[in-house]
Structure 1
């Protein structure tokens, strides 16, 4: 059985027959069990139903479409392939992009009877921007045009025009019928005029996605603990050749780690090459976590900031300053997009933007919560591609490639001050806390905070109030009320609140803060042990009836855009520390708030 794993993905427009083509490939390479074949195709092995072999969800079968990304393995005589069958519908472009972010090559499927479609062009562009340079274009459904060479030649001219903007891309065109199998694994009898390779033969000739750096590098995926001091590590060889008993550098930590008791693909081995799945122990006692690397590469950098080319895929707009989950190799953490510039169709950078729109490419700066081992994509592809994930939905929001590390953290060295946070809290009279009041305008946030403030003064407790309107006269005076500005408003306020809480103050924050993800971001900045989210859940009717500043009236007349509760949403907290009703007696809310302050 081949052990060299080559990763490919399929793409193309809806109804071009990707699922049928790939199912035929799996079927003719003997990669589908007979019982599954019988269940999907029936006793007569109906060739028009072979796409059912990939469409795993009943709802997809009923609609006749593929929605998820199907992952399958199959073997040729020389290679093992990991294949991702990507959907063709425009609304599922992010699935295709996610699959491309891990691929060595792309199989671009085109309906020979229909030619190039808009999604064909879009999928090619995404794959190219994610660093893929090897493409196999399959003229599928060649049977629908009678296996005509003339039609195939005309399609070749169309493909030449399609690839013209991508000068360094390597591509070839293969005629095939997914339904009847011609040109997929076997040549068949219907295209005697074609003397090129079948799809499987062409796959075997494709080179891997190469990196300039081929130093031995292992990414650790799993740690098996066999006792207090005994661990076995499982991982993938990203590049180079791993040698048993050969010392490498452990990242993070920058210390030596010597691989011993090496197993490759389940068997004892002295060496393991790129693509191998390995397990081993370390001669040294080291602090290792999932995502750690063992390497001799000079290209890798530990950094929490980098410049990247980013393709935004989520239907909702992305916002600079908002937190996302980043997956880079086997490393995971939270990250924000701090700056973004649109990249036009000519690959030129345009003006800065704070919102990122679907299927648009950007040059972006990203800042992660912790240092990651990264490398420029051109130098080390496996650690130069990443995915951003929406933490609320778990769906892919964007994919990108690393241009370069900014390494700003190398120049930042916080001073170790003699007076500690604990010392400051003792002076202030207690543990610093942040009470974050959120709710509609007029709900009573500031009124409740003001009364709590008076009670804390009588108790001699050091505290302060960060009120939205007051902050907008100074700290956030440059911000408006767009979604992007609201994100930045909350980030700045949370950073200030954190510093004050670390000085021992009780910080009463009064902000509408309408978006759940942004309040969660504030919690992360401050620290969950100090952060108390308080929902002042006064109804919209009561708030609008109060309207102490006349803002609701103006919003109803259209004079105030993006006004929460009228023409902008408010997302209620899911698990607040406290829920208050501003329409009830003030003393009840005050006593409940003070109870959170007690140490």
Structure 2
């Protein structure tokens, strides 16, 4: 996925005459219609394999036009081709005298396209703050739409700061105006705070800002889209963390039906709500392709996993604001003589997470510390009793618990979270919800063979017999922490020794002020 498809005015869709219109053809056509591409060449290639027969061509064209009409694709030009033999590539072919339309290159060189970007309001995402010396400060980027001139009033999003354009600077000298598609550096008349990822827009037509919106998602990765999992969202030059809700529906590209879905698989298209960790500047895709599209990036692998086209901001994003409170986290924790934090215990089932967490809480309680334990089994009796053990449900399970842990940290508590939490992405999400230094990942490291031997609940035996599906370590993966704050190898430590090590770590990190004597507890 790249900016190209979002700015293209014409596209070439290949169809094999011996296979005709396939599901893939319909999917690509549906994506073309979503992207707003106005002119489409239906390139029916390899006509030599069907002896250049007109009836084959006519049948495919009729089938495709019927589907194109359903999705509102009007500018379709069918061309029969044989790229191997050059038929209808550069010039009309004598082997298909029945075809009277243009050759492919003739069409592409003469198709009339309209550049609507110049007629839209001015937008320019800031790519780079250019400050070679103290006497110059400019903001480099590519004009996404509209026209800008020196003296124009502009607004910076998401900050809302305003100024005027002083100069339009290029390597070849200053310009009197810049239009869509030009890469320029703008200088402003005022010293205001502008960073990479901000967007300049016309002051009289400002770009909207929100942290939640509805979008069409095109999923492009073998691993399914999991609602609630954090992804990187790259919109223009701005990259933020976001997550996607369960799809409102996915589209059957053959029938165009809206189908219920819990997640999106490879090549599926659906409509979802997207929530971000901060407000970003955007336009609806229908108004501006450049500022209305984004890509989704996996936070661990950096793979591009999906693409999105924004519909509109959700009203709650504009109407709900954070309420400032006079009594804050530091005040609540200080009253308890401690610093609030999360101890996140992760490991296989049977590793000893709950046992060690219980011992740690007992010792902290004896010290007069204020704690609360969120245990995986206990939470599934209430808050998460509606969730199963699929990958999607596991992600939502951890997302909810992480949010509860965040609230408890804000209450000034030392929170002990004991969950298998098999995926690194969700543990990272939990870490990012609290401030730096407030999250301690405790890896209760027990080999699978040892955990199976212990098997206090008999779960491994059931999983081995096929009675438990999606069981971590058997038929569902566990991703061990790469850099945990505390690493407990339970084959070398007793539960009591592991608890003492955690308490000492908390003491060394200054979480238990004033200093306490931990010996003899």
TM bucket, shorter chain: 0.7 to 0.9
Residue 447 of structure 1 aligns to a residue in which SS?
A: helix
Deviates more, 1:98-107 or 1:322-331: 98-107
- 1:119-138 alignment, distance < 5 Å: 119-138=24-43
The answer to whether the 8 Å contact 1:213/1:379 transfers is no
- Report the counterpart of residue 508 of structure 1 in structure 2: 416
Flag the 1:306–1:194 CA change in 2: closer, same or farther, 3 A.
same
**Residue 368 of structure 1 is aligned with which of 276, 287, 291?**
276
**Residue 489 of structure 1 is aligned with which of 382, 397, 401?**
397
- Report the counterpart of residue 314 of structure 2 in structure 1: 406
- Report the counterpart of residue 504 of structure 2 in structure 1: 595
- 1:564 Cα deviation (Å)? 1.5
Q: Distance in 1 between matches of 2:251 and 2:427?
A: 33
The answer to whether the 8 Å contact 1:101/1:399 transfers is no
- 1:28-177 alignment, distance < 5 Å: 100-111=5-16, 115-141=20-46, 156-157=61-62, 159-175=64-80
The answer to whether the 8 Å contact 2:250/2:264 transfers is no
- 1:407-422 alignment, distance < 5 Å: 407-422=315-330
Q: Distance in 2 between matches of 1:257 and 1:177?
A: 57
The answer to whether the 8 Å contact 2:443/2:486 transfers is yes
Deviates more, 1:270-279 or 1:189-198: 189-198
Residue 569 of structure 1 aligns to a residue in which SS?
A: coil
Q: Distance in 2 between matches of 1:341 and 1:104?
A: 29
The answer to whether the 8 Å contact 1:433/1:597 transfers is no
Q: Distance in 1 between matches of 2:324 and 2:504?
A: 34
- Report the counterpart of residue 189 of structure 2 in structure 1: 283
Unmatched 5+ stretches in structure 2: 511-521
Flag the 1:267–1:553 CA change in 2: closer, same or farther, 3 A.
same
- Report the counterpart of residue 333 of structure 1 in structure 2: 240
Flag the 1:525–1:206 CA change in 2: closer, same or farther, 3 A.
farther
1:204-240 CA-to-partner distances (Å, cap 9, x unmatched) read 5342474797112112112222246742211111111
Residue 465 of structure 1 aligns to a residue in which SS?
A: strand
Flag the 1:563–1:493 CA change in 2: closer, same or farther, 3 A.
same
Q: Distance in 1 between matches of 2:484 and 2:448?
A: 19
Q: Distance in 2 between matches of 1:102 and 1:594?
A: 57
Q: Distance in 1 between matches of 2:501 and 2:9?
A: 58
- 1:269 Cα deviation (Å)? 0.9
Unmatched 5+ stretches in structure 1: 1-94
1:29-88 CA-to-partner distances (Å, cap 9, x unmatched) read xxxxxxxxxxxxxxxxxxxxxxxxxxxxxxxxxxxxxxxxxxxxxxxxxxxxxxxxxxxx
- 1:469 Cα deviation (Å)? 1.7
Relative to the length of structure 1, the TM-score reads 0.76
Q: Distance in 1 between matches of 2:326 and 2:83?
A: 72
2:208 aligned with 1:301: yes
- 1:251 Cα deviation (Å)? 0.9
1:95-132 CA-to-partner distances (Å, cap 9, x unmatched) read 5x886345333222345676545433332222223333
Q: Distance in 2 between matches of 1:568 and 1:275?
A: 48
- Report the counterpart of residue 525 of structure 1 in structure 2: 433
Q: Distance in 1 between matches of 2:264 and 2:46?
A: 37
- Report the counterpart of residue 215 of structure 1 in structure 2: 121
1:339-361 CA-to-partner distances (Å, cap 9, x unmatched) read 3122343545343x332222222
Q: Distance in 2 between matches of 1:211 and 1:116?
A: 33
Flag the 1:121–1:413 CA change in 2: closer, same or farther, 3 A.
closer
- 1:174-573 alignment, distance < 5 Å: 174-175=79-80, 178=83, 184=89, 194=100, 196=102, 198-199=104-105, 201-208=107-114, 210=116, 214-227=120-133, 230-263=136-169, 266-296=172-202, 298=205, 300-345=207-252, 346-351=255-260, 353-573=261-481
Relative to the length of structure 2, the TM-score reads 0.87
After TM superposition, the runs of 4+ consecutive aligned structure 1 residues lying more than 6 A away are 143-151, 186-193
- 1:338 Cα deviation (Å)? 1.7
Flag the 1:213–1:310 CA change in 2: closer, same or farther, 3 A.
farther
Q: Distance in 1 between matches of 2:41 and 2:270?
A: 27
- 1:153 Cα deviation (Å)? 5.8
Q: Distance in 2 between matches of 1:118 and 1:344?
A: 12
Q: Distance in 2 between matches of 1:527 and 1:124?
A: 46
Q: Distance in 2 between matches of 1:215 and 1:224?
A: 24
Task: Kindly tell me the number of residue pairs found equivalent between the two proteins.
Answer: 503
- 1:490 Cα deviation (Å)? 0.9
Residue 187 of structure 2 aligns to a residue in which SS?
A: strand
Residue 245 of structure 2 aligns to a residue in which SS?
A: strand
- Report the counterpart of residue 519 of structure 2 in structure 1: none
Deviates more, 1:291-300 or 1:421-430: 291-300
- 1:270 Cα deviation (Å)? 0.6
Q: Distance in 2 between matches of 1:595 and 1:572?
A: 23
